[in-house]
Amino acid sequence: MEERSLVVIKPDGVVRGLTGKIISRFEEVGLKLVAAKLLKVTKSLAEKHYPGDREAWLRGMGEKTLENYKKFKVDPIKMLGTNDTHEIGLMIQKWLVDYISSGPVLAFVVEGPHAVELVRKICGNTLPLLSAPGTIRGDYAFDSSYLANTGKRAIKNLVHSSGSIEEAQYEIPLWFSSSEIFQYERVEEKVMR
């Protein structure tokens, strides 16, 4: 049951002064903060975090974009110069690397039962246009695929969070060494479990 998840408050969250509010959401639900740091992401870390060689992820990004364009009656060739899902995925990956390395970010790890799923719920849908009120993205952002792709940039959605237990296990050691991760007891543990 005990899981860890990586959360990164992206540059827009930091410059908008939302770091405290965002961290509170996880603390208040009972998740334990076990690591945290403010840093400027290097290209090398960004490229490991968003690996351009994950074919399924690249194609998924491309497919999502094509569906979106269909909905808004936008011609992908006119807008992006291609309708190939791999090519579009690569383009978005580059936008993501540029976004996450564009300014300081606050990275942290939270721990607790169902941490990965809980964190995703608290963050809300990837697209702020669709994320529910009460979630971080739903409360503090309005961006959409359409706006982002038209501006040739990543969707500004304030936070990254690990998408699965496997993703968390891959991501956490990229961002933190084991000596930067702490163990302690939260007072709520006795009450909430």
**Contact set with Mg ion (CB under 5 A):** 163
Instruction: Give 65 or 135: the residue with its C-beta nearer to ligand GDP.
Output: 65
Binding string to ligand GDP for residues 152 to 171, with x set by CB under 6 A, is what? Answer: --xx-x--x--x--------
As a whole number of angstroms, the distance between CA 123 and CA 119 comes to: 6
Task: Please give the positions annotated as active site.
Answer: 160
Contacts of 172 (CB under 8 A, 6+ apart): 4, 6, 109, 162, 181
Which one of the spans 24-32, 69-77, 145-153, 178-186 is the region binding ligand GDP (CB under 6 A)?
Answer: 145-153
Q: Is 135 in the site for ligand GDP (CB under 6 A)?
A: no
Q: How many residues are there in the chain?
A: 193
As a whole number of angstroms, the distance between CA 13 and CA 4 comes to: 22
Which one of the spans 36-44, 78-86, 142-150, 175-183 is the region binding ligand GDP (CB under 6 A)?
Answer: 142-150
Q: Which own/partner pairs from 182-188 qualify as long-range (CB within 8 Å, at least 24 positions apart)?
A: 182/34, 182/35, 183/34, 184/32, 186/30, 186/32, 188/30
Instruction: Give 28 or 55: the residue with its C-beta nearer to Mg ion.
Output: 55
Q: Which does residue 148 bind out of ligand GDP, Mg ion, none, counting CB within 5 to 8 angstroms by kind?
A: ligand GDP
* Residue 20 region by backbone torsions, left for phi larger than 0, else alpha for psi between -120 and 50, else beta: alpha
Under rule CB under 6 A, how many of the chain's residues touch ligand GDP? 15
Q: Is 65 in the site for ligand GDP (CB under 6 A)?
A: yes
Where does this chain bind ligand GDP (CB under 6 A)? 61, 64-65, 92, 95-96, 126, 145, 148-149, 154-155, 157, 160, 163
